Structure 1
Amino acid sequence: MQTSSQALYRVAQIREAEHIAIQNLQMPGLQLMRSAGMAAFNALRQRWPEQSRITVFCGAGNNAGDGYVLAKLALAAGFGVSVYTLVPVGQLGGDALTVYQDFIQAGGRVSAFDARAQTAGIIVDALLGTGLSRPVGEEYAHAISHINRADCPVLSIDVPSGLHADTGCVLGCAVKADLTVTFIALKCGLFTGEAGDYCGDIVCSSLNVPDAVLAQLPATAHLSSKPVLKPRPRSAHKGHFGHVLLIGGNRGFSGAIRLAGEAALFGGAGLVSIASRAGHADLLNIGRPELMCHAAETACDLHPLLERASVIVIGPGLGQDSWAQDMLRHALASEKPCVADADALNLLARHPVRRPNWVLTPHPGEAARLLGCNTHDIAADRFAAVKKLQNQYAGVCVLKGAGSLIADGGNLLVNTTGNPGMASGGMGDVLAGVTGALLAQGLTLTDAAKLAVHVHGEAADGMAATQGERGMLAGDLLPKIRELLN
């Protein structure tokens, strides 16, 4: 992925930047369109230098204009060029009409799209662009299906047609691109939700719009960077790196708390204790004697453990029965820094509270319960959802999923590591344990969440690269997470 900036913007902000460039900096819209078409053509040639044919699909707006500019450049470079349009020429206007006429005057030909359209070489998607906010219409849906069925590489201009550029939602259907060339600045919707299945690699061209223009607009979010841990002092001892207490592992769910406990160890915590049901507490550290495991059937059993802990992780395998409710109530009453995951979140949804010193790590289903909505509402705008979670519950909220989001009330961050191999049981338990370990070592809530989410996904990416995504186990990531933290 090549980007000139880590800041992410919504479409309305990009339009405002264009307006500033046109009105205040005397950068005509036609100049920006021609720069966009050239940037896309240059990216195409760099990605596929051996290709000499393109098939361009154009709609009606400025996105189509970018496509016509690209088509003219390809024609001048000796490419075989086929262009299909979904609208009569009479519907083109402004700069898009001008560059269409330039293409025709250069010897280009345009055909109306139908089911017999032939594709060859590289397909260029210039159908809909960033302005789409409603489900794709029938005719465009046919064209998108035609593109996706073709055995050709695909370049999408600005955003894959059919993908909402603000949210990453597919509006009925969308082009599956191998490369997306976007303009002026990165759009929020290219990095979360369903976007990963449609954008391919992402290249951003500023179109020579100065950074000072974007500096006038507050970024909506940023791509998350990986915090770097400082080397440990040579005189360090285990007391310097915190004591994580993990609470969970109800009857039948001992595996979850064991995974979270091991993750806290591999994440670098000085000491790790587990409070769990008496029936299996003595078995939890078999094969992992570094875990200090305790039976906690009542609040009286839990209190001395809470007093010794510096950070609490609660939720993995917790359940939602009266024991679970009692454990959560007393854990939160301790007022110590906390990571809440899994059933702790489901219980919290019934009796919401706000805390400044915790990290919540819901997946979309848990987020929906926390906000009293459904998963469709979460997916419709993940950025809005995570901001609402943080506003309602305070602390730091991590909305897990493709392009996990991290909100702390001042920052909104998008993680770019991870892959579908992580869609297996126990992954969230590992993330919770690593986050708790980083908090115990003195990281801020935000940095602990950022680093945990990043290395969790990065470890999975490393495993996928060598062993594939299917059959990836949460526990297998632990040695790689330790390596990445070091």
Structure 2
Amino acid sequence: MSGHQHSRDLYTVERMREIDRAALAALDISGVELMRRAARAALDSLRRHWPQLRRICIHCGPGNNGGDGFLLGVLAREAGFHVELVALTPVSRGDAVAARAAWEEGGGQVLPWAAHGSLPEAELHVDALYGIGLDREPEPAAASLIERINASGAPVLALDVPSGLNADSGQCPGVAVRAEVTVSFIAHKRGLHTGRAADHVGALELATLGMPATAYAHVLPDARLLSAENLPPRARYANKGNHGHVLVIGGDHGMAGAVQLAGMAALRAGAGLVSVATRAAHVFALNAARPELMAHGVDGPQALQPMLERADVLALGPGLGRSAWGHALWLTALDSGRPLVLDADGLNLLASEPRPFSGPTVLTPHPGEAGRLLGVSTAEVERDRFAAARELARRHAAVVVLKGAGSLIADPDGRLDVCSWGNPGMASGGMGDLLTGIIAALLAQGCDAWQAACIGAGLHARAGDRAAQAGERGLLASDLLAPLRALGNGLSSGGPGA
């Protein structure tokens, strides 16, 4: 990531075009000169990542992204690379016409792409087929070329956006390039940080191309990347009562693990006290496994009521189920008006029985739960995760963490942050229970709902990345507890044990 002052800002395609226009005016340069800057940045990236490679193949589309590719070809050839250039179409358009001419005037050949042809031999492929504007499935000829690039076995450098990936949503209507590195120009596109982008972008770099601050001044970002945050040091004169009391409610028959994980995460994230309201059959096992958790068997609302009165924050939903027992506890907890993190079956009950919230609330749905809350399919949520997260936050007047690759945090006013950490090893049971406990603990320690959701999502994902250093496959939710504690204290390593 760049250290540029706008390196955390994320823009839609429409707003990127505004920045491009402002940049050309502020710098008083042509579109071709801006392409040259992009080509130089791409060559710099290529040299950094693959210093030994000398034989490259650049794949150019008809528009400005292809123009970047043609000028990269010119610079790479001048630098001594053996360059092959494949063009998707016989002619280019706009400023790319001049870029193509510069390649040809220097003696460069353009190899036309035939849908059933083969690729030139290359140590590296460069994707310059489509730019930021593609919002449809690639055309058949382009799709066949993308498939060949992906199957080549050689690494791929994508210019600005991996072709086939929607730069607004992070989704792929059809086939898309799988890049090892993407160098994105001028500013970050929001779709490169969430959804299916995780499988296509690879290592993401930002090259601002020397843009002046005035180019960004009148264009508001649509979202921002989360920054890594830790909690401030505790006062030396502190006791457990200063750091909040979290009550975890859930754990129907067979689901005691969910409340244990949520409770342990709340403790490791710094809550002073954590109680668990669960089925009586689970109490002995919870006390034996984690005596720090104050586990209580509750058979209904009457038994839950005194626990609600002592709690500062509720973590409602892990393992709750949708039986009469879970539904009764859910209603009683919501009626208490306590600050609340709602997850799992707590969200599924909300989908079937919508209710307003009277206190600070954070909802933590995965895409399936988000779809049930919105009355749409999971696929529809994934088609525009940004719109889904914002609509959920608006509809429920709550902060929402839409989980998944590139989790989104949205508030009712439309503010949205994107979590750039996390890994596929975290796609396993219990990870959501941890997130619920972490956010509840942060609420209990004085964070507002937005701060708790943002810091909590970041700590959870970063702990997952720390734990995955030993390998993603087989990662357990409990593996995150030690690095979670370390990260919450600003320490550099997780240490042994949880």
Which residue of the other structure, out of 349, 352, 360, is the alignment partner of 1:350? 352
Task: Say whether residues 1:334 and 2:336 are aligned partners.
Answer: yes
Which residue of the other structure, out of 439, 443, 466, is the alignment partner of 1:439? 443
1:419-430 aligned at under 5 Å gives the runs 419-430=423-434
> Aligned AA for 1:207?
L
> Aligned AA for 1:314?
L
Distance 2:164 2:133 in 1: 10
How far is 1:22 from its partner? 2.9
Distance 2:476 2:230 in 1: 26
- The CA RMSD measured in Å over matched residues stands at 1.3
> Aligned AA for 1:431?
L
Distance 2:121 2:259 in 1: 54
Which residue of the other structure, out of 311, 314, 318, is the alignment partner of 1:312? 314
| Kept after mapping to 1: 8 A contact 2:230/2:487 | no
Secondary structure of 2:126's counterpart equals: strand
How far is 1:23 from its partner? 4.1
How far is 1:201 from its partner? 1.0
Distance 2:43 2:22 in 1: 25
> Aligned AA for 1:177?
A
> Aligned AA for 1:166?
D
Which residue of the other structure, out of 245, 255, 264, is the alignment partner of 1:243? 245
Q: CA deviation digits over 1:228-253, x for unaligned, max 9?
A: 21111111000000110010001121
Distance 2:127 2:448 in 1: 43
Which residue of the other structure, out of 348, 369, 391, is the alignment partner of 1:366? 369
| Kept after mapping to 2: 8 A contact 1:227/1:447 | no
Q: Where does the alignment leave 5 or more consecutive residues of structure 2 unmatched?
A: 490-498
| Kept after mapping to 1: 8 A contact 2:26/2:214 | no
How far is 1:27 from its partner? 2.6
Which residue matches 1:71? 73
Task: Say whether residues 1:456 and 2:460 are aligned partners.
Answer: yes
Q: CA deviation digits over 1:371-403, x for unaligned, max 9?
A: 110111111011111001100111210000000
Which residue matches 1:157? 159
Which residue matches 1:62? 64
Q: Where does the alignment leave 5 or more consecutive residues of structure 1 unmatched?
A: none
Secondary structure of 1:284's counterpart equals: helix
| Kept after mapping to 2: 8 A contact 1:157/1:182 | yes
Task: Say whether residues 1:468 and 2:471 are aligned partners.
Answer: yes
Distance 2:199 2:485 in 1: 29
1:28-427 aligned at under 5 Å gives the runs 28-89=30-91, 92-114=92-114, 115-355=117-357, 357-410=360-413, 411-427=415-431
Secondary structure of 1:362's counterpart equals: coil
Distance 1:25 1:470 in 2: 49
Distance 1:71 1:3 in 2: 28
Distance 2:163 2:380 in 1: 22
Q: CA deviation digits over 1:289-315, x for unaligned, max 9?
A: 111111111211011000000000000
How far is 1:226 from its partner? 2.3
Distance 2:482 2:398 in 1: 29
How far is 1:283 from its partner? 2.8
> Aligned AA for 1:461?
D
| Kept after mapping to 1: 8 A contact 2:363/2:401 | yes
Secondary structure of 1:168's counterpart equals: coil
| Kept after mapping to 2: 8 A contact 1:260/1:316 | yes
> Aligned AA for 1:322?
A
Which residue matches 2:494? none
> Aligned AA for 1:154?
V
Distance 2:434 2:94 in 1: 54
Secondary structure of 1:457's counterpart equals: helix
> Aligned AA for 1:420?
P
Secondary structure of 2:95's counterpart equals: helix
How far is 1:34 from its partner? 1.5
Over the matched positions of the two proteins, sequence identity in percent amounts to: 49
Secondary structure of 1:93's counterpart equals: coil
Which segment drifts farther, 442-451 or 244-253?
A: 442-451
> Aligned AA for 2:369?
E
> Aligned AA for 1:174?
A
Distance 1:319 1:476 in 2: 25
Distance 2:300 2:95 in 1: 72
Return structure 1 stretches of 4+ with deviation > 4 angstroms: none
Q: CA deviation digits over 1:138-196, x for unaligned, max 9?
A: 11111001100112111111100000001110121110101111111000011000111
> Aligned AA for 2:274?
V
| Kept after mapping to 1: 8 A contact 2:26/2:212 | no
> Aligned AA for 2:400?
C
| Kept after mapping to 2: 8 A contact 1:58/1:127 | yes
Task: Say whether residues 1:484 and 2:456 are aligned partners.
Answer: no
Q: CA deviation digits over 1:118-152, x for unaligned, max 9?
A: 13122110111111111111111110011001121
How far is 1:20 from its partner? 2.1
Secondary structure of 2:247's counterpart equals: strand
How far is 1:76 from its partner? 0.8
Q: CA deviation digits over 1:346-395, x for unaligned, max 9?
A: 00011222335111000011000011101111110111110011001112
Distance 1:292 1:76 in 2: 70
Secondary structure of 2:69's counterpart equals: helix
Secondary structure of 1:69's counterpart equals: helix
Distance 2:445 2:277 in 1: 20
